[in-house]
Amino acid sequence: MKKTTAISKSEKEWYLVDANGVRLGRLATTIARILIGKNKAEYSPHIDCGDNIIVINSRNLSVHPKKIDNKIYWRHSGYPGGIKQRTLGEMMKRNPNQVIEIAVKGMLPRNKLARQIIKKLYVYPDEKHSHEAQKPKIIEISKNGSKEQN
């Protein structure tokens, strides 16, 4: 009787998530759970058993109006006085994809596996994407937090 499954040989599924009007936190938690593989029965924390996710309409992401001006993203060049900061509003204008990537990356474990997992996230600012051949399953995240799979 088999007690384990060969996770590395299991098929990785593709999911499509529409970020239009969905809050950033709800979207990022759903994406992180699927990327890690916690939605599968054969989940194992030391093996990459998660699926691929395509996020469309990142430009139309919903955030609280106060966060647009008050949430600040920091980065440092490593040199004295090299700290840079941008507000969420500036980030959404420059690169809305990066906002989702940073939020999801913050919900992944801090290890080598997370660097491998984040490569399976594909974010696009509008509805056009180049992954139609993978036939992704659509995941709808409602504004009140419930999920429905088609």
Whole-structure pTM value: 0.88
pLDDT tens digits in sequence order for the chain, 150 residues long: 777 666 666 789 999 999 999 999 999 999 999 999 999 988 889 999 999 999 999 999 999 999 999 999 999 999 999 999 999 999 999 999 999 999 999 999 999 999 999 999 999 999 999 999 999 999 999 876 555 565
Residue numbers of the domain that contains 40: 13-63+90-149
Identify whether 84 is part of a domain. Answer: no
Identify whether 82 is part of a domain. Answer: no
Identify whether 53 is part of a domain. Answer: yes
Q: How far is CA 37 from the centre of its chain?
A: 13
Identify whether 17 is part of a domain. Answer: yes
CATH number of the domain that residue 29 is part of: 3.90.1180.10
**Amino acid, res. 19:** A
CA angle 99-101-104, nearest 5°? Answer: 110
Helices (H), 13-128: 24-36, 65-70, 88-94, 96-105, 112-117
Identify whether 135 is part of a domain. Answer: yes
Identify whether 7 is part of a domain. Answer: no
Instruction: Give the number of domains in the chain.
Output: 1
Identify whether 80 is part of a domain. Answer: no
Identify whether 114 is part of a domain. Answer: yes
> What pLDDT sits at residue 8?
61
